[in-house]
Amino acid sequence: MAESARLALLGHEPADIETFSALLQDATLRLADAGFDRKARRLVCLVNRYRRESPASSRIRCALRVETVQVVQRTGWPNDPDAVTVILSLAQDGDWLIITCAAGIALRAHIEVVDLVLEDIGEPWGTTRVPSHD
């Protein structure tokens, strides 16, 4: 994959959630960058995704879009909208898509079907902070 290549994926099967989870693991999320548009039935999270597919340590701005969302619930959400957390995983539990983050923070989206979009936006930048899972 070329250094300037951007990721753009569609997910329509429950098995796709595992791929999205792997790509988003260790992405940083500023809580103010997660929003639910009730009328459009869409949850969007703008994150800084760690690019494991790149030979150089880098991050890129990335949008996760979850469609057909009926309701969103937040758990452990701090009052500070500028607080930043790290995405640990995405998983499906029945009709719920669960985005689990560090520090007990989570988003639960009740979905009709799996309809996900993951798209890199902007250009990557180098980082010296490499995620580690000891």
pLDDT in tens, 83-118: 999 999 999 999 999 999 999 999 999 999 999 999
pLDDT of residue 1: 41
Domain map (residue ranges) of the chain? 8-124
User: For position 2, what pLDDT does the model report?
Assistant: 46
pLDDT band at 3 (very low <50, low <70, confident <90, very high): low
Name the pTM for this structure. 0.91
Predicted local confidence at residue 4, as pLDDT: 60
- List pLDDT tens digits, range 35-78: 999 999 999 999 999 998 888 899 999 999 999 999 999 999 99
Question: Per-residue DSSP letters for 32-71?
Answer: EEEEEETTTTEEEEEEEEE-TTSSS-EEEEEEEEE-SEEE
Tokens 């880098």 sit at which residue?
A: 58
